[in-house]
């Protein structure tokens, strides 16, 4: 099913993937805009199902904290919403400056193109991301996330 996920050229310092999902944009947006549900979405294995601190419906400027785990070490990240268009786009910025963006474009009623992007153009040290392998690592996580999202709404 990973063949359903396509690479999107977002330019340098961005990793983007897209998938077509059999669900309305509003439903998919509601899932992503609720940080309490992010463990359901995460294909990277880094978001912990720990309690989330923040609203159940994100909005421009909202802050939320999620539990994470990398290299076996647990930690928490507080992000702030930097882009918001109801049912179309949600983006949040990590404390180190990089951003995660989700875009939703309903192509026909009940079918939506979902694009997830890791954007490190705004990172405090964007040159470090490739050195630490973040583009490759995040491409795999995004692909797994979008593959699972499409499978979740696959018609039998």
Taking the C-alpha atoms of residue 94 and residue 84, their distance in angstroms, rounded to an integer, is: 15
Taking the C-alpha atoms of residue 8 and residue 46, their distance in angstroms, rounded to an integer, is: 23
pLDDT band at 48 (very low <50, low <70, confident <90, very high): confident
Contact 80, 93 (CB under 8 A): yes
Q: Residue 117 has which token pair?
A: 């992007």
H-run or E-run covering 111: strand 111-119
Complete DSSP assignment for 59-77: -TT-EEEEEEEETTEEEEE
pLDDT digits 0-9 by tens, 123-133: 999 888 888 88
Domain of 34 in residue numbering reads as: 2-152
Q: pTM score, two decimals?
A: 0.93
CATH number of the domain to which 53 belongs = 3.30.530.20
Please say whether the dihedral angle defined by the alpha carbons of residues 48, 59, 136 and 37, taken in this order, is positive or negative: positive
- Give the pLDDT of residue 46: 86
Contact 84, 59 (CB under 8 A): yes
Instruction: Kindly state the percentage of the chain with pLDDT values over 90.
Output: 74
pLDDT digits 0-9 by tens, 70-124: 878 898 999 999 999 999 999 999 999 999 999 999 999 999 999 999 999 999 9
More confident call, 48 vs 112 = 112
Tell me 121's DSSP state. T
Number of compact structural domains in the chain: 1
């Amino acid at each position: 099913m990973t063949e359903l996920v396509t690479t999107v050229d977002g330019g340098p310092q961005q990793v983007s993937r897209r998938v077509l999902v059999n669900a309305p944009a509003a439903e998919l947006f509601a899932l992503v805009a609720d940080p309490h549900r992010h463990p359901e979405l995460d294909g990277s294995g880094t978001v912990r199902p720990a309690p989330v601190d923040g609203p159940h419906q994100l909005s421009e400027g909202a802050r939320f904290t999620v539990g994470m785990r990398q290299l076996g070490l647990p930690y928490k990240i507080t992000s702030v919403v930097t882009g918001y268009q109801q049912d179309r786009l949600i983006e949040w910025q990590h404390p180190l400056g990089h951003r995660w963006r989700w875009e939703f474009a309903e192509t026909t009623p009940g079918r939506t193109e979902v694009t997830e992007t890791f954007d490190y153009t705004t990172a405090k040290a964007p040159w470090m991301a490739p050195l630490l392998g973040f583009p490759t690592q995040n491409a795999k996580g995004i692909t797994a996330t979008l593959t699972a999202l499409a499978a979740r709404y696959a018609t039998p």
